[in-house]
Amino acid sequence: MSQTTWDLALLYKSNRDPQIEKDLQKIERACRAFEKNYKDKPFTASPAALAAALEYRERLSSELDGSKPWWYFALQSDLDSANSEASALATKYGQRITEATNRIAFFELGIARVTPAKQKQYLRHPALKPYVYALKRVFGAAKHNLSEAEEQLTNLLTQTSYTMWIDAQEKLLNQQVIEYKGKDLPIVEAVQQLPDLPKKERRQVHEKILSSLKSISYLAEAELNAVYNFKKAMDTRRGFVKPYSQTILDYENDEQSIEAFVAFISNNFKIAHRFYALHAKLLGEKVISPADRNTKIGTISTTFDFDTSVKILRSVLGKIDQDYVAIFDRFLLSGQIDVQSRKGKKAGAYCWGMGQLPTFVLLNHVNDIRSLETLAHEMGHAIHTELSKQQPPRYQKYSTATAEVASTFFEQLITEEVEQHLSDKEKIVMLHNRIMGDITTIFRQIACFNFELELHTAVRAEGEVSKEGIAKLMAKHLRSYLGKAVEVTDDDGYFYVYWSHIRRFFYVYSYAYGQLISRALYHEWQRDPAYATKIKQFLSAGRSMSPEVIFKSIGIDTSKPSFFAAGLQSIEQDIDRLEQLTRG
């Protein structure tokens, strides 16, 4: 029988479990031992010496499933933002772990100081062959490194100057409710239910959401200005000229390619404009409100409670690979998926995995088709995470640029599966919803990227931007992709208070990037079901290669502009089809 709440006993028995302190001490001992063996020693003197040190460091990784004590309390906080004990212990133990791991910060910094001439020699040496890609990443980022003392201080300050600000904003947000039909409705549920409400109620609830967000925008103003200024200081010290440069480097993409990608999508916002003009027409309106942005043009009679969603997703996964079904079943039986929405629970959805520790999925399931798609999306992340554990520790983590390919691929599979069981009228609704999802994932996220860039630029030029100024800027970029068919007010810009992704600097481009690549994967699988083997190869690759090389190895060349152009063309073809089916 499925468990629908997290079983955090998979980590520890309770907050007082003595194993927590034992694990903390184990981490501290391991870091001290590594420091004693290698600090101020010539571990990069030869390829053989570096290979031995890297092997030792890899064994240390098993001791540093590192953040397990912090993670346990952070997950509790995500389930209940009012749990002050969990929040305090997450901070306390997070700082203690950071102090311990700061002892080994010297190691990667020492590798980064290998001279360019030696780098080429080392990368060709047989002893270092298993570590080539990891070394390339270290060498490629070397020019942005600070001194050891500065890196240690930065690690500590990130908690107080970034994480705690964001946590404070999320706690306040997660406590917000609006009055709806005489009851208090958590704001996360209100946002999710908005598209399915009748027009009058939908717009009233939309205004209540905006009013609530506006009322707490004073904290979001302080929070964003603080974390954006923190990033400015770090970028300046590290020598990153552009606000997005560090993100693209961390995600292992090529900066010029991503700049060209963002410009290409931005220059094609007319596709989104065309869709929203058709969307308004299908709603019987000339101009619509942002409240109507995700409104369905009809109903799909099937309700997707969690049991139904599980049944459908199991069927879909079984068509690709039985290993995926086994992973899903294990998550359900072991209490690794927290399903229902409730007051104080973190908004949205995510998958969180780390090393060999259990992976956890958070949902806010409200029994609609979008909840089913979200389940598929997050299990895409979970399957990617579990298969990546086959890699050695150095390559188990995967780039965010590949993460969103995995998630959106599984989301597309669900869409096609559901469509097969619908009437002709419902298939039109489903086609409309699929296009709407593509528009949101590609064009909305790139509009958000552009918003972030302009906000970072403004903060760097002016020092701070007021909450009203941030809202106006957000409204401007919402208009840029929504077009004239959607009437955006400046107050609609207060959605920045809710939009968590703008706190994870420039993360959003990975959604658009991932969606277009996943469409290509899906097309290849439809054409030849045996391509499922290639998909599994990608999902098992972890971080052993750059995203571009991983995809090229399975026949997807993302280096060509024509690749992304073909993806947008397929969306236009879907819009053509929707126009034809709804004409008359």
Tokens of residue 497, six digits: 């208070």
Between β-strands 183-186 and 177-180, what pairing exists: parallel, antiparallel or unpaired? antiparallel
Residue 354 pLDDT > 90: no
Q: Is residue 499 part of a domain?
A: no
Q: Is residue 127 part of a domain?
A: yes
Residue 307 pLDDT > 90: yes
Model confidence pLDDT, tens digit, residues 201-215:
999 999 999 999 999
- The three-point CA angle 555-556-561 to 5° equals 140
| Count of domains observed in the chain | 1
Contact predicate 34/61, CB 8 Å: no
Distance between CA 408 and CA 418 in Å, rounded?
16
Residue 344 vs residue 6, higher pLDDT: 6
Model confidence pLDDT, tens digit, residues 160-176:
899 999 999 998 998 89
Q: How is 244-256 classified by DSSP, letter by letter? A: THHHHHHTT--HH
Residue 523 pLDDT > 80: yes
Between β-strands 183-186 and 337-340, what pairing exists: parallel, antiparallel or unpaired? unpaired
* Phi/psi-derived region of residue 349, left when phi > 0, alpha when psi is between -120 and 50, beta in every other case: beta
The arithmetic mean of pLDDT across residues 150-156, rounded, is: 92
- How high is the pLDDT of residue 66? 64
In the chain, the percentage of residues whose pLDDT exceeds 90 is 82
The arithmetic mean of pLDDT across residues 513-520, rounded, is: 92
- How high is the pLDDT of residue 64? 67
The amino acid at 451: F
User: Dihedral of CA 447/499/162/247: which sign?
Assistant: negative
What residues form DSSP beta bridges with 351?
361
Residue 219 pLDDT > 80: yes
* Phi/psi-derived region of residue 331, left when phi > 0, alpha when psi is between -120 and 50, beta in every other case: alpha
Residue 419 pLDDT > 80: no
Binning the chain into helix, strand and coil, the percentages to the nearest 5 are 70, 5, 25
Q: What is the dihedral of CA 146, 148, 151, 152, to 10 degrees?
A: -170
Distance between CA 432 and CA 426 in Å, rounded?
10
The arithmetic mean of pLDDT across residues 439-443, rounded, is: 96
- How high is the pLDDT of residue 491? 96
Model confidence pLDDT, tens digit, residues 81-138:
889 999 999 999 999 999 999 999 999 999 999 999 999 999 999 999 999 999 999 9
The arithmetic mean of pLDDT across residues 210-222, rounded, is: 96
Contact predicate 287/485, CB 8 Å: yes
- How high is the pLDDT of residue 356? 85
Write down the H helix ranges in 343-502: 369-388, 400-419, 424-439, 445-462, 467-482
- How high is the pLDDT of residue 47? 96
Residue 62 pLDDT > 80: no
Q: Is residue 354 part of a domain?
A: no
Residue 111 vs residue 300, higher pLDDT: 111
Q: Is residue 527 part of a domain?
A: no
Distance between CA 534 and CA 557 in Å, rounded?
14
Coil, strand or helix at 339: strand
Those residues whose C-beta lies under 8 Å from the C-beta of residue 82, and which sit 6 or more positions away, are: 171, 175, 344
Between β-strands 337-340 and 360-365, what pairing exists: parallel, antiparallel or unpaired? parallel
Q: Is residue 48 part of a domain?
A: yes
CATH number at residue 138: 1.20.140.70
Model confidence pLDDT, tens digit, residues 525-542:
989 999 999 999 999 999
Domain encompassing residue 26: 8-145
Q: Is residue 571 part of a domain?
A: no
- Name the one residue in this structure whose structure tokens are 């480097």: 249
Distance between CA 356 and CA 61 in Å, rounded?
10
Distance between CA 332 and CA 2 in Å, rounded?
5
In the chain, the percentage of residues whose pLDDT exceeds 70 is 99
Q: In Å, how far are 80, 137, 254 from 261, measured between CA atoms?
A: 39, 22, 11
- How high is the pLDDT of residue 193? 87
The separation between CA 219 and the C-alpha centre of its own chain, rounded to angstroms, equals 23
Report the chain's mean pLDDT, rounded to a whole number.
Answer: 93
Contact predicate 112/141, CB 8 Å: yes
Tokens of residue 70, six digits: 């912090």
The arithmetic mean of pLDDT across residues 288-317, rounded, is: 91
Query: How many other CB atoms are there within 10 angstroms of residue 444's CB atom?
Result: 19
- How high is the pLDDT of residue 301? 76
Coil, strand or helix at 343: coil
Q: Is residue 362 part of a domain?
A: no
Distance between CA 406 and CA 399 in Å, rounded?
11
The confidence band for 475, taking pLDDT boundaries of 50, 70 and 90, is: very high
The confidence band for 302, taking pLDDT boundaries of 50, 70 and 90, is: confident
Residue 364 pLDDT > 80: yes
Select from 28, 11, 13, 30 the least CA-distant residue to 70: 11
Residue 30 vs residue 64, higher pLDDT: 30
Residue 63 pLDDT > 70: no
Distance between CA 397 and CA 472 in Å, rounded?
38
- How high is the pLDDT of residue 178? 92
